[in-house]
């Protein structure tokens, strides 16, 4: 199957510009990046795609076996990079996609030369000396609620994840994005996301890395951003003056400015 069609790949910006790949998180699709793309596409070749089972991808290509681990999503990234013959691309991953990017950069190092990790979390569950933001019981309750009533869970959780209660239109957009996903695919993606533990993977990152977090985030607390920065020697942390888990929607100018500054520094 053609990867471009399978993953609904779209490309904008100068064809000879350095490549920047934008990857969405759980329950979302490439549309979540629409507010930052214009600023990036002035100088960069911007690649957007949907993971199989999300957005405009070919859902017939989805399998629970492949997408029950982050490796399956990393294979999607590698496939997209190979289909476009990208070299030394900058991979910008939102939320769980940041960890997917870590795995992809390790599997196809010639394709990915730098990482931007937006509101990332290598592990959502608290551990000795580590604060992920949730207890194991919290996560199991979250997943049980999702599996018993996905649409109800989406309506309740999406505004919490988005934050910015004074801008309810943002919460509604994320709710609609969640609700558009097939509940069975969402169940698998959610378990893959919230039960993952990528802390050891961070130690193997050798490419330049920008870690972006927000001043307030119900999903990835500030301690997580600092943990990621400390775990990757080649990284630096920038805290955006933004709230919520999706700064590419709630603070697109600040998010784009931070990414562009990092890209300029790579030259």
State both tokens at 94.
């939102």
**Please, what is the average pLDDT of the chain?**
96
Q: Is the pLDDT of residue 1 over 90?
A: no
pLDDT at 172: 95
Task: State the catalytic residue, choosing from 57, 95, 120, 196.
Answer: 95
Identify which of 59, 30, 22 has the alpha carbon closest to the alpha carbon of residue 185. 59
Q: Where are the beta strands (DSSP E) in the chain?
A: 10-12, 19-23, 45-48, 89-94, 112-118, 209-216, 235-243
Percent of the chain at pLDDT exceeding 70: 100
3-state secondary structure of 211: strand
Q: pLDDT class for 180, splitting at 50, 70, 90?
A: very high
State mean pLDDT over 89-104.
Answer: 98
Residue 245 annotated among the catalytic residues of the structure: yes
- Position 205 scores a pLDDT of 97
The tens digit of pLDDT for each residue in 55-88 reads: 999 999 999 999 999 999 999 999 999 999 999 9
Q: How many CB atoms lie within 10 A of CB 2?
A: 9
- Catalytic residue selected from 217, 231, 235, 250: 217
Cα gap 62→87, rounded to integer Å: 27
How far is the C-alpha of 117 from the C-alpha of 227, rounded, in Å? 12
**Is this prediction's pTM over 0.85?**
yes
pLDDT, one tens digit per residue, over 103-151 is 999 999 999 999 999 999 999 999 999 999 999 999 999 999 999 999 9
| CA-based nearest residue to 35, from 169, 166, 153 | 169
Task: Give CA–CA dist 238/262, Å, rounded.
Answer: 10
Q: Which of 121, 196, 245, 250 is catalytic?
A: 245
162 DSSP 8-state letter:
H
The DSSP-derived string for 70-101 is HHHHHHHHHHHHHHTT--SEEEEEETHHHHHH
Mean pLDDT of 210-221: 96
| pLDDT of 267 higher than 90 | no
Q: For 177-191, what is the mean pLDDT?
A: 95
8 A C-beta contact, residue 164 and residue 95: no
Give the whole-angstrom CA distance, residue 226 versus residue 202: 13
| Catalytic site includes residue 95 | yes
Checking if the pLDDT of 153 tops 70, the result is: yes
CA distance readout (Å), 40 to 17, 21, 35, 93, 105: 10, 11, 10, 15, 21
Cα 35 to Cα 209: distance, rounded to the nearest angstrom:
22
Residue 161 has pLDDT above 70, yes or no: yes
């Amino acid at each position: 199957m053609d990867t471009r069609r399978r993953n609904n790949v779209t490309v904008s910006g100068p064809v000879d510009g350095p490549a920047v790949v934008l990857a969405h998180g759980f329950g979302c699709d490439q549309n979540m990046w629409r507010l930052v793309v214009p600023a990036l596409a002035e100088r960069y070749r911007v690649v957007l795609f949907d993971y199989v089972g999300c957005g405009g991808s070919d859902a017939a290509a989805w399998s629970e076996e492949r997408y029950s681990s982050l490796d399956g999503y990393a294979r999607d990234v590698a496939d997209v990079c190979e289909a476009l013959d990208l070299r030394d691309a900058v991979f910008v991953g939102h939320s769980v996609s940041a960890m997917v990017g870590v795995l992809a950069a390790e599997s196809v190092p010639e394709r990915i030369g730098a990482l931007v990790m937006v509101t990332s979390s290598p592990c959502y569950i608290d551990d000795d000396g580590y604060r992920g933001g949730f207890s194991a019981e919290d996560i199991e309750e979250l997943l049980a609620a999702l599996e018993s009533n996905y649409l109800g869970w989406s309506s309740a959780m999406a505004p919490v994840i988005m934050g910015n209660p004074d801008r309810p239109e943002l919460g509604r957009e994320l709710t609609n994005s969640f609700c558009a996903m097939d509940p069975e695919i969402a169940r698998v993606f959610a378990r893959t996301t919230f039960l993952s533990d990528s802390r050891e993977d961070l130690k193997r990152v050798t490419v330049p890395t920008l870690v972006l977090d927000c001043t307030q985030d119900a999903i990835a607390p500030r301690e997580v951003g600092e943990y990621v920065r400390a775990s990757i020697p080649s990284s630096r942390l920038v805290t955006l003056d933004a709230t919520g888990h999706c700064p590419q929607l709630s603070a697109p100018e600040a998010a784009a400015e931070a990414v562009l500054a990092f890209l300029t520094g790579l030259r």
